[in-house]
Amino acid sequence: MKVQNITNSQFNSPEFKGKIDIIPGDLSYEPAKYVRKAYNSLQEMIKDKPYNLYIRQNHKNHTVNIIAQKEDNFIKNKGIKAEGMLSSSADLYEEVASLVINSYEKKLQNPPKTFGKKIQEGLNKVWHKFLEIMEIEDEVVKK
């Protein structure tokens, strides 16, 4: 279930990008009450962002996770994401969401290295080391 009350002005506004999704669609009474209480504030935090906030309750651990991630990456379970966890009975959604958003934006500024980039850097180091060895051998042979 998507919890997104968009007024006509927000719907027609091109700057509204981010949304709030509740995964898998149900929250128990207490977390739902706190989400409703913090919803307008959360919507204000995320409205001009190019990513979404996902709220997922873990009934087994009695926790709620708030995740910031782009929608297509969330569906594929890949890419950059930031996640925060709080107790089901806690009323700290605004604070945790703010921390998650800040963490996600920092990760966007300094994205983690991809596997290909790590391989390329490793090969560059090996190549430079090889060139150093060849230069040392050339100097020894010339003497």
Kindly tell me if the per-residue pLDDT of 6 is higher than 70: no
Average pLDDT, whole number, for the chain? 81
Beta bridge pairs of residue 2: 21
In this prediction, residue 74 carries a pLDDT of: 83
Per-residue pLDDT band at 9 (split at 50, 70, 90):
very low
Q: Work out whether strand 20-23 and strand 52-58 pair parallel, antiparallel, or are unpaired.
A: parallel
Domain boundaries, the chain: 8-111, 113-143
Give dist(CA 4, CA 29) in Å, integer: 18
Confidence of residue 120 (pLDDT cuts 50, 70, 90): very high
pLDDT-based confidence at residue 141 (cuts at 50, 70, 90): low
Per-residue confidence (pLDDT) for residue 15, from 0 to 100: 53
What's residue 119's pLDDT?
92
The pLDDT-based confidence of 24 (bands split at 50, 70, 90) is: low
pTM greater than the 0.85 cutoff: no
54, 60, 137: which is closest to 100 by C-alpha? 54
Q: Quick: pLDDT tens for 26-69.
A: 788 888 888 889 888 888 888 888 889 999 888 888 899 999 99
> 8-111: what fold?
Double Stranded RNA Binding Domain (3.30.160)
- Cβ-count burial 40-55 (b if 16+ within 10 Å, e if not): eebbebbbebebbbbb
Q: What whole-number distance in Å separates Cα of residue 23 and Cα of residue 17?
A: 19
The pLDDT value given to residue 140: 65
